[in-house]
Amino acid sequence: MIRKRQVFQLLVIEYIGSPVISVTVDGASVISSLTLPNNTFRETRILALPETAIGFVAQLQSTSASELRHQFVGVAEDQFSVQQLFQYYEIAFKGTVRCNLFVDQVTKKPENSLNNFIDLSVREGRTQDTRKIYFPALSYGYIPHVSQTLTNTQNGNIISVRPIALPAKFNKGIRRHSEYQITYRGDVNLAIYLDGRKIVDRNLPQVKIPQDGGYATLKDYFPSDSNGNVLQYMQTSGDGDIALFETDQTLLDTEQPQQPMS
């Protein structure tokens, strides 16, 4: 049986010490001579692979003198057969991680920032956290990807990654949006784009994040003449997070629930 081409997303590796690893896919170099953070005892680390890790066979080479166990985690390439408008990546991680975003191997600047990367840190003394990294407006394509860059200070551990596409109700032909409603917590700077043009940029009233959750809902108005086809929102700064976003137009849609891409 001929195996399917894979989009290799993660490398799960268990080791002790600080081995130097290299990764190839179908014989082509993907990672070359990367020194992993030191483990004083045998521990498992999960590393998000570069955007070029697409092919049939992934292989790992290591300088480790002790036993090293590993597994590649991938998704069949044919699961990305439809062009989509990508909204954000949901990333679960430990420590501090530096991430890069791509669509079809083209670099995307996270949250429309000036940098090609974004640094994430766990909040409020947690041992593990989940954050969203937003794609720039109008990020159409087939294959989304997030990779991790290890540095002396950004040496955390990625646990899982999940790309989320923009729901169809935000992209259903030209409409006039009048009001929006957002449910959020913490410190959130909200940006709203209509057909790639920023129409709202504001820092929301801060909502304290207690141990039991604590989300708030805010309603406000769009600028006049907010007419367009594709409405997108993103969090551009702040350590809070957005749970829900709707407008007077999207609330009228009754679409079937969408299963997030795995």
Question: Do 142 and 178 belong to one domain?
Answer: no
Q: Which of 109, 131, 165 is the last residue of a domain?
A: 165
- Where b means 16+ CB within 10 Å and e means fewer, 111-132 reads beeeeebbebebeeeeeebebb
Q: How many domains does the chain have?
A: 2
Domain range spanning residue 246?
Answer: 168-252
Task: Report the pLDDT value the prediction gives residue 209, as an integer from 0 to 100.
Answer: 58
Residue 47 CA to residue 50 CA, distance in Å, equals 9
* DSSP, res 161: E
Phi–psi pair at 261, nearest 5 degrees: -65, 135
Q: 3-state class of 117 per DSSP?
A: coil
Task: List the pLDDT tens digit at each of the 262 positions of the chain.
Answer: 567 899 999 999 999 988 999 999 999 999 999 988 888 888 888 999 999 999 999 999 998 777 789 999 999 998 888 999 999 999 999 989 999 999 999 999 998 888 899 999 898 778 899 999 999 999 999 999 999 988 777 778 899 999 999 988 888 778 888 999 999 988 899 999 999 999 999 999 877 655 556 788 899 999 988 889 999 999 998 888 899 999 988 886 655 445 555 4
Question: Do 19 and 134 belong to one domain?
Answer: yes
User: Using an 8 Å Cβ cutoff, are 232 and 164 in contact?
Assistant: no
Q: Which of 111, 136, 165 is the last residue of a domain?
A: 165
Question: Do 135 and 178 belong to one domain?
Answer: no
Residue 47 lies in a domain: yes
Residue 259 lies in a domain: no
Residue 126 lies in a domain: yes
Q: Which of 148, 165, 182 is the last residue of a domain?
A: 165
Question: Do 158 and 174 belong to one domain?
Answer: no
Give me the amino acid identity at 113: S
Question: Do 19 and 82 belong to one domain?
Answer: yes
Query: What is the number of other CB atoms lying within 10 angstroms of the CB of residue 159?
Result: 16
Residue 46 CA to residue 120 CA, distance in Å, equals 15
Question: Do 146 and 188 belong to one domain?
Answer: no
- Where b means 16+ CB within 10 Å and e means fewer, 51-90 reads bbbbbeebeeebeeeeebebebbbbebeebeeebbbbbbb
Task: Report the pLDDT value the prediction gives residue 58, as an integer from 0 to 100.
Answer: 94
Residue 1 lies in a domain: no
Residue 50 lies in a domain: yes
Question: Do 77 and 46 belong to one domain?
Answer: yes
Question: Do 104 and 178 belong to one domain?
Answer: no
Q: 3-state class of 250 per DSSP?
A: helix
Residue 262 lies in a domain: no
Residue 257 lies in a domain: no
The total number of residues written for the chain in this structure: 262
Q: In the numeric block, which tokens belong to residue 186? A: 């913490």
